[in-house]
């Protein structure tokens, strides 16, 4: 069994009297792609923001790379942050910066003495890694398609050569072909770079195609974690409705057909 990269124990998140998470536990294992799913309002993004330090939980412990992140001092926190990258929803690029300049933002934050030439070279390399043409580095986000903005955001997430990647709804808004291509890119980068991936998604095709395990958020906590067949063996109503509904059955059938075609090739 692979060692855990992230361990969350007893997490509580609340906004005033509204409790989002209560006694939430989660484990992300080294080298896996963990899909995180849940209905609207279950706090998927809040969970991610708590793990990366953008949301202070009311209670609980978050351990990352064996370090207690909830109790880390500023220096230790910065060391940990250098080891992960984040792709927020819709890319979250700075509109007044070019793609290349966006990619350089984390580098400038953590490595203030890198010269301009090297910054440009690193940015260009990261842009190429995500499948964008080299000229995309000089374009502004408004000049890119939705899929290209996602890839530009991913290039920025990879700027610091992370081993841990957080993806928040990376295929949302993409057409099926673009979403499938992005899924393939994530798998390729995971294998090439040795990444561990925390992936928030509602895309059933993504869950069936690239996720090693899936964590289900409901009732303020993670109610189950496992492979999709393991989850389907549970009798929780939301899990059954989600994975056995029309879209879930369609995604499962498509994957089975694709595997059968691959086996017969």
- Average pLDDT for residues 163-184, to the nearest whole number? 94
Report the SS3 class of residue 18: strand
pLDDT score at 20:
95
Could you give the CA distance from residue 138 to residue 103 in angstroms, rounded to a whole number?
Answer: 11
Other C-beta atoms lying within 10 Å of the C-beta of residue 8: 24
Residue 264 pLDDT greater than 80, yes or no: no
pLDDT score at 257:
61
pTM equals 0.91
- Distance set, CA 216 to CA 34, 164, 243 (Å): 10, 20, 11
Residue 259 pLDDT greater than 60, yes or no: no
- Average pLDDT for residues 204-210, to the nearest whole number? 94
Between 2-6, 102-106, 226-230, the lowest mean confidence (pLDDT) is in 2-6
Tens-place pLDDT, residues 13-50: 999 989 999 999 999 999 999 999 999 889 999 999 99
pLDDT score at 254:
56
Residue the block writes with tokens 């090297």: 118
Tens-place pLDDT, residues 230-251: 999 998 889 988 888 666 555 5
Could you give the CA distance from residue 201 to residue 214 in angstroms, rounded to a whole number?
Answer: 10
């Amino acid at each position: 069994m692979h060692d855990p990269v992230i361990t969350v124990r007893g997490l509580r998140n609340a906004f005033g009297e509204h409790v989002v998470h209560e006694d939430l536990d989660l484990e992300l294992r080294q080298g896996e792609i963990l899909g995180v799913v849940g209905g609207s309002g279950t706090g998927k993004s809040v969970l991610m923001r708590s793990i990366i330090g953008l949301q202070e939980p009311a209670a609980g412990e978050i351990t990352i790379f064996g370090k207690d992140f909830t109790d880390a001092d500023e220096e230790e926190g910065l060391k940990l942050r250098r080891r992960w990258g984040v792709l927020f929803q819709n890319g979250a690029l700075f509109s007044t910066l070019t793609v290349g300049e966006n990619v350089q933002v984390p580098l400038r934050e953590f490595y203030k003495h890198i010269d301009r030439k090297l910054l440009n070279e690193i940015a260009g390399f990261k842009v190429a890694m995500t499948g964008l043409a080299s000229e995309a580095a000089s374009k502004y986000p408004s000049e890119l398609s939705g899929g290209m903005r996602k890839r530009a955001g991913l290039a920025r997430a990879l700027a610091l050569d992370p081993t841990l990647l957080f993806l928040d709804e990376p295929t949302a808004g993409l057409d099926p072909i673009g979403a499938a291509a992005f899924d393939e890119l994530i798998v390729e980068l995971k294998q090439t770079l040795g990444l561990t991936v925390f992936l928030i998604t509602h895309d059933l095709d993504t869950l069936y195609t690239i996720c090693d395990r899936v964590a289900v958020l409901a009732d303020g906590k993670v109610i189950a974690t496992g492979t999709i067949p393991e989850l389907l063996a549970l009798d929780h109503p939301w899990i059954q409705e989600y994975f056995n509904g029309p879209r879930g059955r369609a995604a499962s059938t498509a994957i089975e057909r694709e595997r059968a075609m691959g086996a017969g090739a």
